[in-house]
Amino acid sequence: MKLTDLDIIVTAPPAPGWGGRYWILVKVTSDSGITGWGECYASSVGPTAMEAVIRDVFGRHMAGENPENIELMFRRAYSAGFTQRPDLTVMGAWAGLEMACWDILGKDRDRPVHALIGGRMNDRIRAYTYLYPQKGHTLPDFWASAEQAAEAAEAMVAKGYTAVKFDPAGPYTIRGGHMPSRHDISLSVAFCRAIREAVGDDADLLFGTHGQFSTGGAIRLGRALEDFDPLWYEEPIPPDNIDEMAKVAAAVRIPVATGERLTTKAEFAAVLKAGAATILQPALGRSGGIWETKKIAAIAEVYNAQMAPHLYAGPVEWAANIQLAASIPNILMAETIETPFHDALIKGTIRVEGGYIPVPDAPGLGIEVDEALARAHPYSGDGLHLQMQEGPIGYHGVNVFAGGAPVKV
């Protein structure tokens, strides 16, 4: 069996747009006519440029190759151009294409992907969700309202979720780490207090940030939140400074989580070695794909660390996250995004039930992609999947984080 054809679909989720401005889906076909799907979580260049990268990686390293030879193709892409070091854009392209290879292999053997990478360790995966506005909530007020966040948390717990994530500490900026304002610290405390009072012991609190703080600022904020016992403190400083993140981890009594912006075992191993985090959050469409992230999970075992795959993308990456999670012993939980478009794009083939994701038995990634629906929502904007604020934060009031990359309604 050989890989022969590649198609790329850049689809834009309709309003409210949770999951980013666009999703890059890849459709790979073998000479035996089997189709595999993947998703590239790469956004440092625009989708048109990314399409060219994906086609180059496929044509240069994968076309005509047996999809079984994952390791060989990875080494080709990882070594391309005399590199042999993490490259976010190339690995983002590779990761989505690699998922498609596993989807093809599973369909060829009539087995789910997890059966091909060590078998089923877990029948269901604990799900967590970001807190999104509920009926009656208004934007942008929701992002700075502890009361509305608590109402959203109650609604998610009523659906069965046992962990909820929120990030009221202000926007991320291109300027690197900053010191939080007192207003942002007070708002963060108010969010934790209101949500903890609303859910009690029924849900863990996942405090999200986006690498926006200086080391001292992250420690200052983290210590203010300790009394509410969050399960994690997510990426408190920019992810490229591992030693400084380790200082935060040592100074704050909340487990540090990181990984959304990291790629390959090289970067994740460095985090673990430095003691910078005990919870890893790889996005499989960026981290190197299923097989590379399986290696990351194995390294994490040595450090007694847990895995919590990240999702701010579409449901194809989610499906890959679930296949990996099914096969590893150190899974903590997996992020989910429940919108009608996410569900329709994979025809309801994976869903959250009572706060858990049942692991699918269907071949490959376990999903059926609605290709026509994906093509019916082409991306026509000029923004990247996610973008950072250019201006500095202010200190005269709350700095509102507007949430992900919502589309204009």
Over residues 163-194, the pLDDT tens digits come to 999 999 988 889 889 999 999 999 999 999 99
Verify that 36 and 102 share a domain, yes or no: yes
For 241, other C-beta atoms within 10 Å of its C-beta total 16
Note if 310 is an active site residue: yes
**Domain termination site, one of 111, 138, 161:** 111
Instruction: Flag whether 162 is in a domain.
Output: yes
**Domain termination site, one of 81, 111, 141:** 111
Verify that 213 and 319 share a domain, yes or no: yes
Instruction: Flag whether 382 is in a domain.
Output: no
Residue 58 has pLDDT above 60, yes or no: yes
Q: What is the pTM of this model?
A: 0.97
Report percent pLDDT > 90 for the chain: 91
The answer to whether residues 20 and 405 touch, using CB atoms and an 8 Å cutoff, is yes
Instruction: Flag whether 207 is in a domain.
Output: yes
Measure CA 61 to chain center: 26
Instruction: Flag whether 334 is in a domain.
Output: yes
For 119, other C-beta atoms within 10 Å of its C-beta total 11
Q: Is 166 helix (H, G, I), strand (E, B) or coil?
A: strand
Note if 61 is an active site residue: no
Instruction: Flag whether 376 is in a domain.
Output: no
Please pick, among 61, 114, 178, 210, the residue that the annotation labels catalytic.
210
Verify that 285 and 193 share a domain, yes or no: yes
The answer for 178, left when phi > 0, alpha when psi is -120 to 50, beta otherwise, is beta
The answer to whether residues 324 and 99 touch, using CB atoms and an 8 Å cutoff, is no
Verify that 82 and 214 share a domain, yes or no: no
CATH number, residue 276? 3.20.20.120
Please pick, among 61, 310, 342, 385, the residue that the annotation labels catalytic.
310
What is the chain's alpha carbon radius of gyration, rounded to the nearest angstrom?
A: 20
Residue 154 has pLDDT above 80, yes or no: yes
Over residues 220-267, the pLDDT tens digits come to 999 999 999 999 999 999 999 999 999 999 999 999 999 999 999 999
Residue 46 buriedness (CB in 10 A; 0-12 / 13-18 / 19+): middle
Verify that 96 and 193 share a domain, yes or no: no
Specify the number of domains making up the chain.
Answer: 2
Verify that 217 and 320 share a domain, yes or no: yes
The mean per-residue pLDDT over the stretch 391-398 comes to: 92
Range of the domain at 151: 116-364
Verify that 62 and 121 share a domain, yes or no: no
Instruction: Flag whether 25 is in a domain.
Output: yes
Verify that 26 and 55 share a domain, yes or no: yes
Provide the terminal-to-terminal Cα distance of the chain, rounded to the nearest Å: 46
The mean per-residue pLDDT over the stretch 287-293 comes to: 98
